[in-house]
């Protein structure tokens, strides 16, 4: 069960990474990152149906209406029947969740730097392919939009327009993850250099003694090796049909 849970977690991680990567696009000298919009739940309606979209993210299912069946995994947009407040259909799914075809991206026809057109064709509409074209328009005045324009025509073909500042090209910004990695590396380097210098010149240590907190790090390495051995033995014992550790006096239940 532990191995199966780890596999499920790993596959979920791969799905998330895949969806994040597909929403980063480069056209010529312009780079776009629609992941900057994945905290939004944009809504629009046509009188009969309400539509909710979380670009490049999982749409909040509590905004999709009541449903008697589980929602599909990886749903990015949904359609709700307004009169009954009931879930009508999924509008599209993120990449990496087994839905085909994958999302398609091109730069807006208005010209370079104006935004991105996302084409979604991985959900059904009355038993056939649903075509959803989402135009993300670069608009610096729309910092945190909450609405979108939705037009259907012909049947099962939707045109959605989203105006947002985060739909504009990325202007040499460094992501939060990169900043964290840089800060972490700087802290590690300062820790090592400072620790070695202090132990060598102040405490007059030699050999492994010049390393900062050698006892602690040797213990960590030892625990890591022990953990790896345990995992290997556990997997091998599962292959033999038992989860008992080698040399154990107890049988698995």
The residue among 167, 198, 225 that closes a domain is 167
Q: How confident is the model at residue 10 (pLDDT cuts 50, 70, 90)?
A: very low
The predicted model gives 41-54 an average pLDDT of: 97
**What does the pLDDT read at residue 218?**
86
Backbone angles phi, psi at 31, to 5 degrees: -110, 135
132 and 153 inside one domain: yes
**What does the pLDDT read at residue 208?**
77
pLDDT at 47 exceeding the cut of 50: yes
The residue among 167, 199, 214 that closes a domain is 167
In a domain, 248, yes or no: no
Per the model's pLDDT, the better-predicted residue between 44 and 211 turns out to be 44
Quote the Cα angle for 239-245-246, to 5°: 90
**What does the pLDDT read at residue 214?**
84
Range with the poorest average pLDDT among 10-24, 76-90, 187-201: 10-24
Per the CB < 8 A criterion, the answer to whether 162 and 146 are in contact is no
**What does the pLDDT read at residue 238?**
81
Per the model's pLDDT, the better-predicted residue between 211 and 188 turns out to be 188
Task: For residue 159, give both structure tokens.
Answer: 């045109």
In a domain, 21, yes or no: yes
In a domain, 233, yes or no: yes
- CB neighbour burial string for 72-90, b if at least 16 within 10 angstroms, e if fewer: eebbbbbbbeeeeeebbbb
Count of domains forming the chain: 2
**What does the pLDDT read at residue 179?**
82
Range of the domain at 185: 176-239
66 and 92 inside one domain: yes
The predicted model gives 236-253 an average pLDDT of: 58
Per the model's pLDDT, the better-predicted residue between 179 and 182 turns out to be 182
CATH code for the domain of 110: 2.70.130.10
156 and 187 inside one domain: no
In a domain, 251, yes or no: no
Task: For residue 111, give both structure tokens.
Answer: 């010209």
The residue among 167, 193, 215 that closes a domain is 167
10 and 120 inside one domain: yes
The pTM for the full model equals: 0.63
Q: Which contacts (CB < 8 Å, 24+ apart) does range 222-225 have? A: none
Q: How confident is the model at residue 172 (pLDDT cuts 50, 70, 90)?
A: low
> Which among 80, 43, 145, 175 has a CA at the least distance from the CA of 71?
80
198 and 81 inside one domain: no
């Amino acid at each position: 069960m532990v191995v199966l849970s780890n596999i499920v977690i790993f596959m979920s991680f791969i799905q998330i990474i895949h969806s994040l990567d597909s929403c980063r696009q480069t056209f010529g000298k312009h780079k776009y990152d629609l992941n900057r919009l994945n905290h939004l739940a944009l809504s629009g309606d046509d009188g009969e149906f309400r539509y909710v979209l979380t670009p490049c993210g999982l749409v909040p299912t509590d905004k999709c209406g009541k449903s008697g069946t589980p929602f599909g995994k990886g749903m990015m947009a949904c359609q709700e029947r307004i009169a009954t407040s009931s879930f009508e259909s999924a509008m599209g799914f993120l990449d990496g969740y087994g839905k085909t075809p994958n999302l398609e991206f091109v730069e807006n026809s208005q010209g370079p730097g104006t935004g991105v057109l996302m084409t979604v064709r991985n959900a059904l509409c009355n038993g056939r392919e649903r075509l959803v074209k989402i135009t993300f328009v670069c608009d610096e005045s729309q910092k945190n939009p909450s609405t979108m324009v939705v037009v259907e025509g012909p049947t099962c073909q939707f045109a959605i327009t989203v105006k947002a500042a985060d739909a504009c090209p990325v202007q040499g910004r460094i992501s939060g993850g990169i900043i964290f990695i840089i800060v972490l590396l700087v802290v590690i380097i300062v820790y090592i250099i400072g620790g070695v210098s202090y132990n060598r010149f102040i405490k007059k240590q030699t050999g492994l003694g010049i390393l900062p907190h050698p006892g602690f790090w040797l213990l960590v390495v030892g625990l890591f090796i022990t953990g790896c051995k345990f995992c290997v033995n556990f997997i091998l014992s599962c292959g033999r049909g038992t989860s008992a550790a080698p040399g154990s006096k107890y049988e698995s239940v």
